[in-house]
Amino acid sequence: MGNTTYLELDTTRPLDIILLGRIAIDFNPAYSDEVKEEFKPLKKVHYFEKFVGGSPANIAVGVSRHGMKAGFFAKVSDDAFGDFVTEYFDGEGIDTSHVTRCTGGEKLGLTFTEMRSSTESSILMYRNCIADLQLSVDDIDEDYIRTAKALLISGTSLCESPSREAAIKAAMLARKCGTKLIFDIDYRAYNCKNPDEISIYYAMIAKEADIIMGSREEFDLTERLIRSGMTDEESAAYWQGYHAKIVVIKHGMQGSTAYTAEGEKFSIKPFPVSARKGFGGGDGYAAGFLYGLYQGWNLQDCLEFGSAEASMMVRSNNCSDDLPGPGEVREFIEAEKKEFGEMVGRI
Amino acid sequence: MGNTTYLELDTTRPLDIILLGRIAIDFNPAYSDEVKEEFKPLKKVHYFEKFVGGSPANIAVGVSRHGMKAGFFAKVSDDAFGDFVTEYFDGEGIDTSHVTRCTGGEKLGLTFTEMRSSTESSILMYRNCIADLQLSVDDIDEDYIRTAKALLISGTSLCESPSREAAIKAAMLARKCGTKLIFDIDYRAYNCKNPDEISIYYAMIAKEADIIMGSREEFDLTERLIRSGMTDEESAAYWQGYHAKIVVIKHGMQGSTAYTAEGEKFSIKPFPVSARKGFGGGDGYAAGFLYGLYQGWNLQDCLEFGSAEASMMVRSNNCSDDLPGPGEVREFIEAEKKEFGEMVGRI
Amino acid sequence: MGNTTYLELDTTRPLDIILLGRIAIDFNPAYSDEVKEEFKPLKKVHYFEKFVGGSPANIAVGVSRHGMKAGFFAKVSDDAFGDFVTEYFDGEGIDTSHVTRCTGGEKLGLTFTEMRSSTESSILMYRNCIADLQLSVDDIDEDYIRTAKALLISGTSLCESPSREAAIKAAMLARKCGTKLIFDIDYRAYNCKNPDEISIYYAMIAKEADIIMGSREEFDLTERLIRSGMTDEESAAYWQGYHAKIVVIKHGMQGSTAYTAEGEKFSIKPFPVSARKGFGGGDGYAAGFLYGLYQGWNLQDCLEFGSAEASMMVRSNNCSDDLPGPGEVREFIEAEKKEFGEMVGRI
Amino acid sequence: MGNTTYLELDTTRPLDIILLGRIAIDFNPAYSDEVKEEFKPLKKVHYFEKFVGGSPANIAVGVSRHGMKAGFFAKVSDDAFGDFVTEYFDGEGIDTSHVTRCTGGEKLGLTFTEMRSSTESSILMYRNCIADLQLSVDDIDEDYIRTAKALLISGTSLCESPSREAAIKAAMLARKCGTKLIFDIDYRAYNCKNPDEISIYYAMIAKEADIIMGSREEFDLTERLIRSGMTDEESAAYWQGYHAKIVVIKHGMQGSTAYTAEGEKFSIKPFPVSARKGFGGGDGYAAGFLYGLYQGWNLQDCLEFGSAEASMMVRSNNCSDDLPGPGEVREFIEAEKKEFGEMVGRI
């Protein structure tokens, strides 16, 4: 993988990216050739399909399918589900040398997805005493961080100790080692005790990050104890006053914008598709965007690629198995442009 | 429901039995007309079917299908899965007035079943910070206990506070109210901290119980701090020295024996079937046995009925949906006797 | 030590009694020749004196000063205060082979005594994460129990795990080993979560005990889930229906009564003294009463001796250092009888 | 109070300083006219004197006795000891509007001091489930912070949640409100789980601080995940790269040095006194140094004043009652210079 014009990566390092955060399992209502659970309340669903899940896990799979070499800091359960996700990662070519097993009987996080209609979906999470939040400072290996061009921290890792301190330590060591830090805010309400804690810990990582990605709501939560009510431009400028080179702020269906430290801004909006669920888009977005960035593309093209991959995921019944390779994304973009015009996605 | 010759039930009470313990969900590898997951390791299973589970929950369903009126003391999750199990109970005619919701975000216990062959099955449990163990002394309603002929306590409720104290309080109040106490030892390794705790708490309930049911291993665990190495006869006599009228001790495929306070003993062995899994037999056994007892049958017939229902469950892919009505059990017994001889089951 | 007419002790056993419960430190307002803190609110006290404290610790010291050989099951802190109490016990001739150190940094319980007037005293307790409640089932040694004539369990040990299970295990093993069980109810509000738990756990030990000692209020708490509002006679009869041979019920300044399994009853009331504080009387009472019992005295004399020792302690500024030898108690009784008449104490 | 030449304080604000951290009680071996416990092991001490303690509490008392107006963010116990410290603060003129009571039964921290010789002293701490660490984000009042010229955070507040987040929130709000931030590293081993956590949380506050004070060892702990083995000059420069204007690094008896953002350095060494204990010097140092700074003195004079106050405290039997007023410090300096020469203290 080459270099970007926005971020100087150390191309001599073997790993393109290490991700830090949760690996979980999604149980989605079955929707396949064999058995189809149509839109209905979760309590009435009888058949489920099992998939690898968890936002950073999905991003790891996504970038790997684009040919990038990924590693991972995670704790998984010491049971058949831990075997499942680890072997799945191995199969995708993700380095699992730093994916280790819990020793206290903690189980893998589970997400049961409810799909009531194409616009109403929700999730039922198993997140108590959960494996991923057991990642500890002792799992964070400075030498490993030094072998990677970048480290991506998923915000949910900050919700509870000991994972919280593991993530902060990793961020401090990334800065020490010249490993670029990518912060995917990825806020989820469960496990977070109060809004002050979110601002405290999310701001701490954001201050160290080279790239920050999140929704407007997530930036608001992060900035709560610093200054409320910042515009996108003010947020971008604030974090670029620390270490941020690229700040990506998302507004859902209204599209998203990337702000560079040089003062440029680039925007994109979603490609039109028929949605199966409201989840998984962000993971596809991150995977596609990072792939473009590592290719040395200009930011506008990175955004288009990410947005396309996002749209491909929301129409799928899962968040990991259907992550595409670069050729499929290109075909999708081509088809969409043929149907909706060359400027579909551009704002 | 009438009375038994072994145990004087107060027939004026509207509820036949209140059960106390866990209500959970089983996720079993799909095995239906639409999709069949053949025997394989759990990590390789893709499709799952969802069923109500948990030993006392299954017994409640089982006795209800035999026409008995059951109630339940339980805490369930305040989410779609809590809705599912509560509505399922309602549908079976089980009184759910004392099945209440957790307020601390605890989730329903989950059991993922692994079926590797007809003789190898195992389970992966989600039992950390779990709903059923949140049952507390404040949930135990003396007036409700007074409306029931009997209270069945499932041993797993003794594994952790606050459920532990809730179960003990219920047992003390049962004795105070003249409600017969049935102790289904139902020991499971998870949630239990050390062997001393098992003996301490299981012996405490066993000393108050009118009926005790368990495997030889479970009796050994219960008697560990009292006297090690008792024979079945010694165990039965020991507990009959307290309040036990009937002591049922099981030896797996070798069959089981019921000992009465009057000094009689009756034995039964399993009916021959092709097993799908190693679970669920005990719940069918309890449901059938208790049904017979409430009918006023002699113990030999109770055991045969329970054993038949147990065999019907181990050949099924689930532990709740396939629980039979009395007619089905009778048909099963008849068919088995036709095939294997009148004395099948008798030892 | 000889035998009693009420309780058959195994006189071949080397230890007279093992106590199980807390060893703590009392910090009392200084009141000595050097410095006197007169009655005042605790916040205004500047000088404190340090003493060994904790009800069972005081009883151990008390019986040892009467020549009995005592042992102890306890966990103490691994610090200078743990050294202090252990060396104090050694100095009194108490066997400290089963007084062990905490490994988790738990500290010794502290009691700061407030003495506002001769009738108003209160205590400020340090009981969070405390050493004595760390006693665990692994600390309970069956062979040690077998070397003792009796085991005394102090009720506060039942308030929290793991001490709770340690105490229950010790009681079960005492019954198994033919070691007499003495239950000093000794209820204290701190550490106890709710009234149901008190009744659950206190009743459990009371059912196994040969001697039960407590105030009317303590018996009420113990019997709460069994039958409310029992009279002293009913309470005594209820517990004698299990294993109790002697039941002692106290009514403060109104005196106390001992009920025997043979149907006798004996009463005593306090000796008149000028009180320094409201604490420590019960410990002196227990030490004196048990001494008399082991001497084979009739119960009336045991009670008188205990009551005298109680009165000696409430006029003292501490609960351990001033515990008397038998000669001093006899002198006290003689002096009191000379001043108040032969029948002082008798009801 | 006026302004400093090193740090621009907002002189319109009514409070000179708010301190955040622990208020505790010291129990020191009595050493007064009435009763003297000579040097001896703690376990052998019988008489204790009770004093307000805790490093930030002592500093608050110290600056108040110099005429500064102090406030405090703290949680204290809801008992007689909580009354004692709050009333003591009131008596010293410290604003206690933000000193609130614990609601979960947590007790005030206790420190029992052992004084074995003039050079050997140690402490036995009660710090489990302790009041001061219950300070929470909800206790941190932005409006209150806005009324103060400066906020001093004591490092021990960072050891555990929820106090940890309360301290970080206060630091973030201080920066938001233009309130100067003083970080007294004040590391104590108890309550801290591992060295990584110390570096993570101490560095987080140090990055925001205008003044940082600590020993060389404390700076090493803080810098552990950033760069190991920095010299004093490197440490000062590193933190001045963030917001620090003054960095004070202490080397025990070798003296201490203050580094300014302008590149100046000033050193001082202790005044010769006969020590009663090894504690309390740092609190006197901070109180005296801050007083000088607020007076607008040059740093060399601030250091001398602080060092003198430190020496006065180590020869005292307590850490709060004997904190001097400015006149007493000046007299002490004069007397020391008369005895040891004008340059005593200067390096």
Residue A346 has pLDDT above 70, yes or no: yes
Query: Nearest-CA neighbor of C18 among C111, C142, C204, C130?
Result: C142
Cβ contacts of C110 on chain D, cutoff 8 Å: 110, 126
Question: Tokens 């759990």 appear where?
Answer: B42
A104: nearest CA partner in chain B: B128
Q: Does C321 touch chain D (CB under 8 A)?
A: no
pLDDT at B1 over 80: no
What is this model's ipTM? 0.94
Which pLDDT tens digit goes with each residue over C184-220?
Answer: 999 887 777 789 999 999 999 999 999 999 999 999 9
Q: What count of residues does chain B have? A: 347
Nearest to B200 among C168, C176, C196 (CB): C168
Q: Residue type at C4?
A: T
Q: At a CB cut-off of 8 Å and minimum separation 6, what does D19 contact?
A: D56, D57, D59, D60, D70, D71, D72, D73, D151, D152, D154
Which tokens go with C271? 């000796």
Mean predicted lDDT score pLDDT of chain A? 95
Mean pLDDT of D38-63: 97
Is a pLDDT exceeding 90 seen at residue A277? no
pLDDT > 90? residue D235: yes
pLDDT score at A7: 86
Closest chain A residue to the Cα of B45, Cα to Cα: A50
Evaluate whether D156 touches D184 at the Cβ level (below 8 Å): no
Provide mean pLDDT across the span A232-246.
97
Q: For residue range D178-229, what is the model confidence (pLDDT) as tens digits?
A: 999 999 999 887 777 789 999 999 999 999 999 999 999 999 999 999 999 9
- Among B27, B106, B124, select the one facing A79 at the smallest CB separation: B124
Please give the pLDDT value at position C344: 79
Q: What is the pLDDT of residues C239-257, one digit of tens each?
A: 999 999 999 999 988 999 9
Task: State percent of chain B over pLDDT 90.
Answer: 87
Which pLDDT band, with edges at 50, 70 and 90, does A121 fall under?
Answer: confident
- Is residue B346's pLDDT more than 80? no
- Residue B298 burial by CB count (10 A; 0-12/13-18/19+): exposed, middle or buried? middle
- Check C169 against B225: CB less than 8 A apart: yes
Lookup: tokens for B60: 């409640």
Evaluate if residue D22 carries a pLDDT over 90. Answer: yes
Pick out chain C residues at pLDDT < 70.
1-4
Taking the C-alpha atoms of residue B189 and residue B191, their distance in angstroms, rounded to an integer, is 6
Q: Which helix (H) or strand (E) holds D206?
A: helix D195-206
Q: How many CB pairs under 8 A join C and D?
A: 83
SS3 label, residue A127: coil
Given this model, what pLDDT does residue C7 score? 86
Report which secondary-structure segment, H or E, holds D248. Answer: strand D246-250
The minimum CA-CA distance between B196 and chain C, rounded to whole Å, is 7
What one-character-per-residue DSSP string does B81-101 give?
HHHHHHHHHHHHT-B-TTEEE
Report d(CA D209, CA D302) in Å as an integer.
19
- From first CA to last CA, the distance across chain C in angstroms is 29
- Among the ranges given (A221-225, B222-226, C23-27, D278-282), the one the predictor scored with the smallest mean pLDDT: D278-282
Better-scored residue on pLDDT, B151 or B347: B151
Would the CA dihedral through D211, D217, D222, D227 be positive or negative? positive
The answer to whether the CB of C268 falls within 8 A of the CB of C281 is no
- For residue D319, give Cα distances in angstroms to B196, D27, D214: 49, 11, 18
Show the 3-state SS of D132-180. Answer: HHHCCHHHCCHHHHHCEEEEEEEHHHHCCCCHHHHHHHHHHHHHHHCCE
Among D285, D313, D265, CA closest to D213? D285
Minimum Cα–Cα distance from C26: chain D residue: D46
Residue B343 has pLDDT above 60, yes or no: yes
Which residue on chain D is closest to A137 by alpha carbon? Answer: D196
Per residue in D154-190, pLDDT (tens digit) is: 999 999 999 999 999 999 999 999 999 999 999 887 7
Please tell me the distance from the alpha carbon of residue B126 to that of residue A227, in angstroms, as a whole number: 42
- Any D CB within 8 A of C38 CB: no
Quick check: B200 contacting C, CB < 8 Å?
yes
Check residue B4 and give its pLDDT.
Answer: 58
Q: Which residues contact B111 (CB under 8 A, 6 or more apart)?
A: B24, B25, B26, B27, B53, B54, B123, B124, B125, B126
Of the pLDDT bands very low, low, confident and very high (cuts 50, 70, 90), residue A193 is: confident
Distance of CA B21 to the CA centre of its chain: 9
User: Across residues A83-89, what is the average pLDDT?
Assistant: 98
The pLDDT assigned to C128 comes to: 94
- Least confidently predicted of A152-156, B271-275, C97-101, D38-42: B271-275
* DSSP-derived pairing of the beta strands A246-250 and B99-101: unpaired
Going by DSSP bridges, is the β-strand pair A47-53/B47-53 parallel, antiparallel, or unpaired? antiparallel
Write the residue in C45, C50, C105 that is nearest to D45 by C-beta.
C50
The Cα A233–Cα A254 span in angstroms is 16
Structure confidence by residue, pLDDT tens digits, B301-322: 999 999 999 999 998 988 999 9
pLDDT(D58) > 70? yes
C with A: touching (≥3 Cβ pairs within 8 Å): no
Residue whose entry in the numeric block shows the structure tokens 């916040």: C43
Distances (CA, A) of B191 to B130, B133, B155, C138, C271: 10, 10, 11, 18, 53
Q: Of all helices (H) and strands (E), which one includes residue B312?
A: helix B299-314
Q: How confident is the model at residue B7 (pLDDT cuts 50, 70, 90)?
A: confident
Confidence band, pLDDT 50/70/90 cuts, at residue A4: low
Q: Higher pLDDT residue, D67 or C191? A: D67
Annotate D64-127 with DSSP letters as a single string.
HHTT--EEEEEEE-SSHHHHHHHHHHHHHT-B-TTEEE-SS--B-EEEEEEE-SSS-EEEEEE-
Please report the pLDDT score of residue C4 as a whole number. 58
> Strand, helix or coil at B121?
strand
* Contact status, residue C93 vs residue C251, Cβ threshold 8 Å: no
Q: How many CB atoms lie within 10 A of CB D123?
A: 19
Count the alpha carbons within 13 Å of A333 in the hemisphere toward its beta carbon. 23
Rounded distance between C-alpha atoms, residue D292 and residue D288, angstroms: 6
Q: Please say if the pLDDT value at position A307 is more than 60.
A: yes
Least confident of A91-100, B116-125, B205-214: B116-125
Q: Which residues pair with D130 in a beta bridge?
A: D107
State how far the Cα of A268 lies from the Cα of C194, in Å rounded to an integer. Answer: 60
Rounded CA-CA distance D176/B341 in Å is 87
Quote the tokens at residue D245.
Answer: 């204007």
Q: Mark A310-345 as b/e (b = at least 16 C-beta within 10 Å).
A: bbbbbbbbbbbeebbebeebeebbeebbeeeeeebb
Contact D31, D40 (CB under 8 A): no
Please tell me the predicted confidence (pLDDT) of residue A1.
Answer: 43
In a mutational test of the C interface, the residue from D23, D50, D321 whose CB has the highest number of chain C CBs within 10 Å is D50
Assess contact for B184 and B150: CB atoms under 8 A: no
* Secondary structure of residue A226 in the 3-state scheme: coil
Query: A-chain residues within 8 Å CB-CB of B27?
Result: 27, 48
Task: Give C8 to chain B, closest Cα distance, Å.
Answer: 21
The C-alpha of C235 sits at a distance from chain B's nearest C-alpha, in angstroms, of 15
